[in-house]
Structure 1
Amino acid sequence: MAEGREPLLLTVNCAALPPDVLDIELPADGHLLFFTDLEYPPESSMVLHVSAGAQTTEQAATYELDGETIPVRFYEPHTLYPVVGLTLENNWHCAAPETLTFLDGDGDPNVLGDFEDAVLDMAFGGTRPAVRVQIGGFCDPWDMVPWDIAPDAGDLVLFAQMHAQAIDYEEGPTLSLIVGTREDIAARRYANLQYEQQT
């Protein structure tokens, strides 16, 4: 749970997202607000939904700590536009008999990586940006070797993935992953979401 110290990283206009391509159920209108710190590890994180037409009041971006007023970090706003893309399940090639046969033979594993990049770039309509914000789909974690389990394994699905440099160009390479169950996401039980940050 956030304590009011985390900066606002991302505001998503739900009405601007193409609902027919998302694999998770999001509100049809209003805004999703993502609060977390890009510095590793974040103390806490939170997602809020503000309904369309809800009355809001601007507050000072500060908090009190031991009687001292501390400013919350502020990121300059940048407009991001939704682009439909394709994601692949992590280690997809381990479930396909043809790719396992290829790898068991003299197949070069780099060929599969090049194939994956080509398919994803084609679905994107050009070269995919290296840093991005992603809503839904499969996660693309950094801190993984083939035998690791992705954060969106089992009953958990990806809610959002944010590259720090998509928020602030001068930030170091940090990846924030937010996962939850489809039921919690659809019911807007965002307090049940799980957060992982990788560097």
Structure 2
Amino acid sequence: MNPDLVDRLAPFRAEALGRGIPAEDVERWIGLARPSATLVTGGDGPVVGRFGGPLLLPADAPDPWFPLLATLDCAALPEETTGLRLPPEGHLLLFGFPEMTYYGGTAGEVVYVPGGTPVEERSVKYPHVFGEEGDGFDATDALAVHEQFPQQELRLAPDISLPHHFLAPSPEPGGETITLPGHPRAWDLAEVWQETYGGVAVDGPLHIGGYAFHECTETDPVTDAAADADEGRRHRGDSAELPAPDEWTLLAQWDIGLTGREGSTLHWVIPRQDLAERRFDRAHVSFFWNP
């Protein structure tokens, strides 16, 4: 990892040591740091995508169910910046809607358009927002949220990320959660990161890679979302098993902040192997809100 990024963690280290957390525990926690890309809507960083349209899809691609949030230029998001093995070219389209789902359902999807693929601008009345013809769906609330979706260029700000969570699933059958293995002071260290995060990390609405978080992070939102994806698979009667939750990673996180969805978050997560294989059909989107 870029040493300059690690140097940003000096306030975290100083605060943790000042609270009497043993140095070996502090350094072990810092060893968990990951690079990430925070995408911002101002500043002088390179443009790497945009919030909103136009919606550009291959002619044979199906109409998306969820609205388009962002289009990202993969070539402008290298692995050393994001910590992710994104495709070296082409575009990632992030679709989603900030609304609760049930039975492990997804709140969005990801579409990858390889470089050089012919595309056309698509006009879509997204069914999740507008409903389907004849279904009697009242779109008033969904439209009020969708009309606030941002429409701006996204610029790159290299960032660094530490875990916000401090609990993990128990390895014992029937167990619930345990302190993050190998980190007996995980709760204290996560608390220090929560309190120093604002002076270390970049403030921006969209994060690519790194650790997932939301307002009430105790367990890893990625493994929670992966468990939801598996619940959804079983609810659909799909017999094809998904990778274990610890084999998934955060693709993107949107800190929403729209009127009516204050304090909510969307996470796009994906199995690491799928990402390496440029397969995005099993990506899962989870929604968190603490209204």
Residue of structure 2 equivalent to 1:151: 222
Residues 17 and 170 of structure 1, relative CA distance in 2, 3 Å threshold? farther
C-alpha separation in 1, matches of 2:221 and 2:150: 31
Is residue 91 of structure 1 aligned with residue 166 of structure 2?
A: yes
Secondary structure of 2:273's partner?
Answer: helix
Residue of structure 2 equivalent to 1:179: 269
Unaligned runs of 5+ in 1: 104-108
How far is the alpha carbon of 1:18 from its aligned partner? 3.2
AA aligned opposite 1:78: Q
Contact persistence 1:40–1:174 (CA under 8 A)? no
How far is the alpha carbon of 1:43 from its aligned partner? 6.3
Contact persistence 2:254–2:265 (CA under 8 A)? yes
Is residue 30 of structure 1 aligned with residue 77 of structure 2?
A: no
Structure 2 length-normalised TM: 0.51
Contact persistence 1:85–1:120 (CA under 8 A)? no
Residue of structure 2 equivalent to 1:190: 280
How far is the alpha carbon of 1:9 from its aligned partner? 0.6
Unaligned runs of 5+ in 2: 1-61, 168-178, 224-244
Q: Select 1:135's aligned residue among 205, 208, 217.
A: 208
Q: For each residue in 1:11-46, what CA deviation from the matched residue of structure 2 results, as whole angstroms up to 9, or x when unmatched?
A: 111122133233221011111001111233486421
Equivalent residues, number: 180
Is residue 14 of structure 1 aligned with residue 74 of structure 2?
A: yes
Q: Per residue, is there more helix in 1 or in 2?
A: 2
Secondary structure of 2:159's partner?
Answer: coil
Residues 29 and 170 of structure 1, relative CA distance in 2, 3 Å threshold? farther
C-alpha separation in 1, matches of 2:135 and 2:213: 42
Q: Select 2:252's aligned residue among 160, 163, 168.
A: 160
Residue of structure 1 equivalent to 2:113: 50
Q: For each residue in 1:108-140, what CA deviation from the matched residue of structure 2 results, as whole angstroms up to 9, or x when unmatched?
A: x5x863455436733x4xxx32x5211111111
Percent of aligned pairs with the same residue? Answer: 21
CA RMSD in angstroms comes to 3.5
How far is the alpha carbon of 1:156 from its aligned partner? 1.5
Residue of structure 2 equivalent to 1:5: 65
Contact persistence 1:143–1:198 (CA under 8 A)? no
- Greater relative contact order (CA < 8 Å, ≥ 6 in sequence): 2
Secondary structure of 1:151's partner?
Answer: helix
